[in-house]
Amino acid sequence: MTAAEKIKKIVEEKGIAPDELAAALGVSKGALHNWLKGTGRPSANAQAKLEKYCTDNNITFE
């Protein structure tokens, strides 16, 4: 599953706005929007933050 697919699932399941998710992950709004559009990919550090956010919020990708 791509970062964009994961982010879309988080937004849908948790009802959180992309801008709120960006703040929770400690990344810029622009970076998160680029990930959603597929024009950018998270760094290893940002990917780790995304995975931790999912774990902390009981979001699974199966």
CATH number of the domain that residue 34 is part of:
1.10.260
Domain assignment present for 51 = yes
Domain assignment present for 61 = no
Predicted model pTM:
0.80
Number of domains making up the chain: 1
Q: What is the pLDDT of residue 49?
A: 93
Domain assignment present for 37 = yes
Q: What is the pLDDT of residue 13?
A: 83
Sign of CA dihedral 34, 36, 40, 41: positive
Q: What is the pLDDT of residues 13-45, one digit of tens each?
A: 889 999 999 999 999 999 999 999 989 999 999
Q: Is the pLDDT of residue 59 over 90?
A: no
Domain assignment present for 62 = no
Domain assignment present for 19 = yes
12: containing domain: 3-56
Q: Are 31 and 22 in contact (CB under 8 A)?
A: yes
